[in-house]
């Protein structure tokens, strides 16, 4: 069964818009778990635009499901990860002027630095994932660097869905889904765990959830957006049901 890990970053985005104390990401995580979340994901960005380091430690000390920490491969983030000891660390690219992550990590172009970064995390018994595009060369590079998990970037699939009348059967949507499916097969062939995420919504998740061998889907913005109208538990529950239907 494909697990659902809920990214709660955008609860903190709303909080930071007023620089206040609510909404509380910890409460959001607890509500997500009550709705059926199998794990919680958060991204500590270098500019701290949403989640704060204090949020990370609160979550680590409180929640009873796996915690996945997304971060850039920097010395500061390495220190935070080692101190917090999340259940998994996912290395992502990061740009100060981007709205959200705009593509996969270029592992192939930064092999030496990333190998050293991964080695430092593995030495602390931390599992390490690479957020990468659906590209065979990047998957092979990730394996060579020591990553044991790859999360396939589903952003191009999500954009194809938006720009083609929200049709799961449109040829461009199907073409992007095939790229993801082929990448998943490659990750499994390389003896790594395969996850997927980015841009997935209640409407388009079935196209990705139906792909065999995906262990986890990491989804945030759509769940938080729907929760404004339905509540967090119901939004997560709906997403879980859509994933389960797709798998059947």
Residue positions annotated with a catalytic role: 43, 70, 198
Rounded distance between C-alpha atoms, residue 190 and residue 167, angstroms = 32
Measured distance between the N- and C-terminal CA atoms of the chain, rounded to whole angstroms: 10
C-alpha separations of 162 from 1, 103, 154, 171, 180 in Å: 27, 17, 13, 13, 17
Task: Specify the pairing of strand 127-132 against strand 193-197.
Answer: unpaired
CA angle, 219 then 220 then 224, to 5°: 135
**How many CB atoms are closer than 10 A to CB 191?**
8
């Amino acid at each position: 069964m494909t697990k659902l890990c809920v990214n709660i970053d955008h609860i903190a985005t709303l909080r930071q818009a007023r620089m206040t104390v609510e909404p509380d990401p910890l409460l959001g995580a607890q509500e997500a778990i009550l709705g059926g979340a199998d794990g919680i994901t958060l991204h500590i960005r270098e500019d701290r635009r949403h989640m704060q380091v204090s949020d990370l430690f609160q979550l680590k000390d409180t929640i009873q499901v796996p915690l996945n920490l997304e971060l850039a491969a920097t010395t500061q983030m390495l220190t935070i990860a080692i101190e917090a000891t999340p259940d998994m660390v996912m290395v992502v690219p990061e740009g100060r002027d981007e709205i959200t992550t705009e593509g996969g990590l270029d592992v192939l172009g930064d092999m030496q630095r990333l190998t050293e970064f991964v080695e430092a995390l593995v030495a602390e018994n931390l599992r390490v994932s690479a957020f990468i595009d659906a590209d065979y060369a990047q998957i092979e590079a990730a394996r060579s660097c020591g990553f044991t998990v790859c999360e396939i970037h589903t952003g191009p699939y999500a954009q194809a869905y938006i720009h083609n009348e929200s049709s799961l059967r449109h040829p461009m949507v199907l073409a992007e889904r095939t790229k993801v499916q082929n990448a998943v097969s490659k990750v499994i062939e390389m003896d790594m765990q395969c996850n997927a995420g980015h841009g997935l919504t209640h409407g388009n998740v079935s196209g990705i959830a139906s792909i065999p061998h995906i262990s986890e889907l990491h989804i945030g913005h759509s769940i938080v957006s729907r929760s404004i109208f339905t509540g967090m538990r119901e939004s997560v529950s709906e997403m879980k049901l859509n994933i389960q239907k797709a798998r059947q």
